[in-house]
Structure 1
């Protein structure tokens, strides 16, 4: 057996957005802390290329803290979204509608 044979092994990962299993080479790393370059002691989640392309790549400072504050995943989607919109409006002001 060759010394480097494990490097050629196809590793499968699961997209955290859609749940599809894809080859690691066909996925993008996702770091919920927004710092994918610091690799010390990290375990990354993955997104398929399609879901990664659908992401908003805008800064998300404070988003994780907000989700924790709102206990995301503990309530129904409707309750969560209502709490989220109310909290965002309280913290950052009224939401603006996009212009067509």
Structure 2
């Protein structure tokens, strides 16, 4: 009925975070849209187990839209942080700076 994962092409993949080439069976699928279960028409990127473990696994609803809205791809680090913080405050209210 369902094919095994081992027949999905290459036996090795490159980690998008560190660049290491690992066996496909030792990698984790990464979907930038955050919806890895809706598989139709998608090509996944991969992370090695170590980089995957280091990720924040919190929901990221609205993140892609926010990044597009602030034109994040062409900004310096300072410009990105300034625009990102302002966009978050505009959408969700003041940032809590106390810990």
Q: Report the TM-score range of the alignment, normalised by the length of the smaller protein.
A: 0.7 to 0.9
Partner of 1:39: 39
Aligned residues between the structures: 93
Q: Distance in 1 between matches of 2:20 and 2:97?
A: 33
Partner of 1:30: 30
Partner of 1:97: 97
5+ residue gaps, structure 1: 1-5
Q: Return the index of the structure with the highest Cα Rg.
A: 1
Partner of 1:53: 53
Are 2:19 and 1:19 equivalent residues in the alignment? yes
Q: Distance in 1 between matches of 2:14 and 2:81?
A: 26
Q: After TM superposition, where is structure 1 displaced by more than 6 Å over at least 4 residues in a row?
A: none
Q: Distance in 1 between matches of 2:33 and 2:18?
A: 20
2:72 match: secondary structure: coil
2:25 match: secondary structure: helix
The Cα RMSD (Å) is 2.0
5+ residue gaps, structure 2: 1-5
TM-score normalized by the length of structure 2: 0.80
- 1:36-65 alpha-carbon deviations (Å, 9 max, x no partner): 112111100111111111111111110010
